[in-house]
Amino acid sequence: MSLNPFTEVKDYPSMRTKLGLFTFFWFLGGILVLQNTIPGVARVLAMVPAKTKVVEVEFGVATVVIAFALAAVAYVAKLHDRVSDLFGIRARFDVNEILKPSALATGTPLSPSQIQKLRAKRLDLMGPVFYKFASSGKPIIDPHYITMALTQWSWYWVVIELNVVVGLVAIALLFASQFVWLSAALAWLVLSFLLLQPSEPTVPSTHFSRSNRLSPTRSALRRYPGFSVHYSVKGHIIKSENAAKPSMQASAYLCRWLSAQDPVRSAVDYGCGKLRYSGMLAAICRSLTLVDSSIQLDRSLLFDGTRTTVRAKAAATWPGCRVLSIEEFTISARRYDFILCANVLSAIPAAKARAIVLANTRSHLTLSGQALFVSQYRNSYFKEVIASGRAKVIDGGWLLHSARGWFYYGLLGPADLKRLIVRAGLVVKDCWSHDGSAYALCSGA
């Protein structure tokens, strides 16, 4: 077991050793601060004049002994675990980062009551779903992933235990009316609280493939077809990203509808395609998130005559907007005030994939959040194609072959749209049609 705190952490005992070591130094630092700011503490410590060295630095023996004793208590009591229990840190992580994504990855949309059940049975479920494959003792997945995850997590707990020490020091400083140092301690606590918020994968800095280093289950998620936007129908591969249209072909009615909405804090363009409606959303929200497949986000497309990618175009047009792959969106815990899902359900010929889109929308809405589903089911082009006999009519839509491959057009009128949405547990607040498109405005509960 290495005492070097910077070596990789391969198992739980090594993680605890590392934590113990750091916590000892945190207490040492904390006592030094108190010694230098509170005369009473300095007087008591001076009663033992002997000195000793810790990593070549001289400390009073009393300081070192007290720091060691406190660190030992923290080690035995598993301080990080107690903090986790108090704030529900691990419970949230297990549910949001492991169990929920694993369920969604298998194509199981989760209702709120099922999510409640996941929470209640978290400890029972983590064994068969996660530890069976990713325990450091007998891993089934590549042990390298486990080492990387444990190393990252150990740094997280190191900071958590530092915060406990800073909190204790802050209380002592408060009683001693040492407000300058107290402010510094409080500033640190606030800063680290903000930094330790569950991070959302942001693009371009964390593509899914990079963030999967944190958790082995994330890489497993990539293998599931629930996140692919390529569908197989009657032996034909439908590349649904090819159905996306440019902003020049936006529906004037939908643009008007969007711009008439009250501003919201956060909005998502789910299945953003070629950003046809993203600008309208950007105009009514403070924080815009765009979601589509990695294929769609990273391929080269023409925007106003210039070749670029959706990611690059979005970053240049709406600085600060977040661009997430479907996987990143699915596993993120963030919720939004408004989600637009325009012409996505009708581009998906698979019931399960549609159900995942609906479940994902529902689980990412804030309590008062709303989602608008749009589906075009009638227009002159549809009529012309069907009349020409070129289209293969299939259940609920039709297939068309062109030079760019096979296309699928699902015909979801208002009644079909409403039925799908209600089945997914969303509440339809309004459903209407306009000029061949069906619209459904929903809330999560």
Q: Which residues bind ligand SAM (CB under 6 A)?
A: 229, 240-241, 243-245, 271-273, 276-277, 292-293, 296, 326, 342-344, 347-348, 353, 357
Which residue bears the tokens 């459904």? 440
| CB closer to ligand SAM, 59 vs 373 | 373
* Cα separation, 377 vs 410, whole angstroms: 7
Q: Look-up: residue for tokens 């006999």?
A: 389
d(CA 211, CA 202): 10
Q: Which residues pair with 402 in a beta bridge?
A: 405
- Nearer to ligand SAM by Cβ, of 312 and 347: the residue is 347
Q: What is the DSSP string of 273-322?
A: TTTTTHHHHHHHEEEEEEEE-HHHHHS-EEETTEEE-HHHHHHHHSTT-E
Q: Which residues contact 405 (CB under 8 A, 6 or more apart)?
A: 237, 238, 239, 242
Residue recorded with tokens 């369920």? 103
CB of 93 to ligand SAM, least distance (A): 25
Residue 144 or 245 with smaller CB distance to ligand SAM = 245
Contact assessment for residue 410 and residue 399, using Cβ atoms and an 8 Å cutoff: no
Nearer to ligand SAM by C-beta: 62 or 355? Answer: 355
State which residue, 160 or 340, has the beta carbon closest to ligand SAM.
340
Q: How far is the CB of 361 from ligand SAM (least distance, A)?
A: 10
Least distance (Å) between residue 231 CB and ligand SAM: 8
Q: What phi and psi, each to the nearest 5 degrees, are found at residue 55?
A: 35, 60
User: Which of 146, 290 has the CB closer to ligand SAM?
Assistant: 290
Closest contact distance (angstroms) between CB of 337 and ligand SAM is 18
Distance CA 419, CA 422 (A): 5
Radius of gyration of the chain (CA): 27
4 or 249, CB closer to ligand SAM? 249
* Min dist. Cβ of residue 431 to ligand SAM (A): 18
Closest approach of ligand SAM to the CB of residue 226, in Å: 7
Question: 134 or 331, CB closer to ligand SAM?
Answer: 331
Distance separating alpha carbons of residues 421 and 154, to the nearest angstrom: 42
Residue with tokens 């989602």: 371
Output 119 or 236, the one with its CB closest to ligand SAM: 236
Matching residue, tokens 């035995």: 76
Residue 116: CB minimum distance to ligand SAM, A: 25
- Which residue of this chain has its Cβ atom nearest to ligand SAM in the complex? 273
- Measured distance CA(338)–CA(432) in Å, rounded: 18
Q: Round to whole Å and give the CA distance between 113 and 107.
A: 17
CB of 275 to ligand SAM, least distance (A): 8
Q: Cβ of residue 283: shortest distance to ligand SAM, in angstroms? A: 16
Residues with Cβ within 8 Å of residue 386, at least 6 apart in sequence? 393, 398
Q: Which residues contact 300 (CB under 8 A, 6 or more apart)?
A: 307, 308, 309
Amino acid identity, position 363? S
Under 8 Å between Cβ of 196 and 159: yes
CB of 348 to ligand SAM, least distance (A): 5
Closer residue to ligand SAM in complex, CB, 154/343: 343
Rounded CA-CA distance 39/18 in Å is 32
